[in-house]
Amino acid sequence: MENRAHNDALLEAADAFARERLSEKRYGHTVRVADTAESLARKHGLDPARTRLAALLHDAARETEPDEFLRLAKEWNLSVGEPERQSAKLLHGPVAAELARRELGVANEEVLEAIRVHTVGEAEMGPLALALYVADKIEPARDYPSVDRLRRLAHEDLRQAATEALRRVMAYNAGRGRLVHPSSREMLEWLEEA
Ligand SMILES: [Fe+2]
Ligand SMILES: [Fe+2]
């Protein structure tokens, strides 16, 4: 980003925005994801401030009520498929991206994309979105059998880490009888192509 003071002010506003809208627990997750995403950005040559900004805002809409998600999605013309109708909280990424744009004036498309797609994924997402996707799965409080392997992998190869994280999420959802979101399937196909 071009202007350091502007950056710092925006990061501060994003932090306050998340803190205001989230429980202490979820705000804690948000800050850990921001720290993790920023460190992945530095490691992989991405813009650390932009990556941190996306991470600070990624779950800002997570505590919105289902009816409100659907109302906002309609008002803002967000895409709502069968999975979103069944589970409105899948809209928390797209809704948070709109809030970032409308309420904080975030204009950077990479940042908005990363926020928008962080839940169900998307084929051909950019590196910043990949970094956030992975950071969300490996922040220090995450605890599952393969998480340490994934943490190591994330510092070596973001794309490979995203592939494994996504496979794990899909297996977990399948085990709970949940449908795989088409965007997740498309993301996995895209990751496996390269
Ligand atoms: Fe989320
Ligand atoms: Fe999250």
* pLDDT score for 2: 56
Closest CA relative to residue 146, chosen from 121, 166, 126 = 166
Kindly report the pTM of this predicted structure: 0.96
* pLDDT score for 5: 85
* pLDDT score for 156: 97
Low-confidence ranges of the chain (pLDDT < 70): 1-2
Distance from the CA of 92 to the center of ligand 2, in angstroms?
A: 10
Long-range CB contacts for residues 184-191, cutoff 8 Å, separation at least 24: 184/120, 184/121, 186/121, 186/122, 186/123, 187/121, 187/122, 187/123, 187/125, 188/121, 188/163, 189/123, 190/123, 190/124, 191/159, 191/162, 191/163, 191/166
Other CB atoms closer than 10 Å to residue 161's CB: what's the count?
25
Torsion sign over Cα 73, 76, 78, 80: positive
Planar angle of CA 79, 192, 33, nearest 5 degrees: 60
Are residues 21 and 63 in contact, defined by beta-carbon separation less than 8 angstroms? Answer: yes
* pLDDT score for 178: 84
Distance from the CA of 127 to the center of ligand 1, in angstroms?
A: 18
Distance from the CA of 131 to the center of ligand 1, in angstroms?
A: 14
